[in-house]
Amino acid sequence: MTLKEYEEDLASVQNEITGEKMLTEIICIDLHCWRYIIKDLDGFDGICISDEKLIEMDTKKKDDDITLLHEMTHAYEGMMPETYRQYVAVRLFQKLQHKIPNLISLISADLHTVSHVAFHSPLFTLKALDLDIGLGLPLGTVYSYEKKDFYLNITE
């Protein structure tokens, strides 16, 4: 779900409830006001600092589209208020549950993994899986952190 689709989806639901045409405008969700910095990150491929609207990429990963997409997914999540995050997570789950039979197992296993290098929410996981499918990549590619191999061992 793109942010534009999300806005249209939310507006259509509100229109059904109120019977009035409403335009839903979320805060400034725009990656143009973000800064991208390439530098040596000492063990990290990329870092997203949402509060500062900053994405840092390691020098060795500066041309790695997957690392950038991973950090942009954090940015996407970081720009939305909490209520919207939960709504988008539910909608993404609805969209993906028919495409990924063991979806709830992937999310559940991910939440219980103690080997997390960094925190990734269920929304992040869902959006990363959505991007994998949309781009024709193996599940776990955008998530990174060896999730491709991890997901292969998770069944329903």
- Binders of Zn ion among residues 106 to 125 (CB under 5 A) are 118
d(CA 25, CA 16): 17
Q: What's the closest the beta carbon of residue 60 comes to Zn ion, in angstroms?
A: 17
Which amino acid is present at 119? F
Q: What angle do CA 83, 146, 137 make, to 5 degrees?
A: 75
Query: Which residue lies nearest Zn ion, judged by its C-beta?
Result: 118
Strands 54-58 and 46-49: antiparallel
Q: Contact at 8 Å (CB) between 28 and 50?
A: no
Please tell me whether residue 138 adopts helix, strand or coil conformation. Answer: coil
Instruction: Pick between residue 74 and residue 88 the one whose CB is nearest to Zn ion.
Output: 74
> Phi then psi for 56, rounded to 5 degrees?
-110, 135
Per-residue string for binding with Zn ion, 14-53, x by CB under 5 A?
Answer: ----------------------------------------
Q: What's the closest the beta carbon of residue 41 comes to Zn ion, in angstroms?
A: 12
56 DSSP assignment: E
Q: What's the closest the beta carbon of residue 120 comes to Zn ion, in angstroms?
A: 6
Q: What's the closest the beta carbon of residue 4 comes to Zn ion, in angstroms?
A: 24
Instruction: Pick between residue 6 and residue 127 the one whose CB is nearest to Zn ion.
Output: 127
Using CB under 5 A as the criterion, which residues of the chain lie in contact with Zn ion when the complex forms? 118
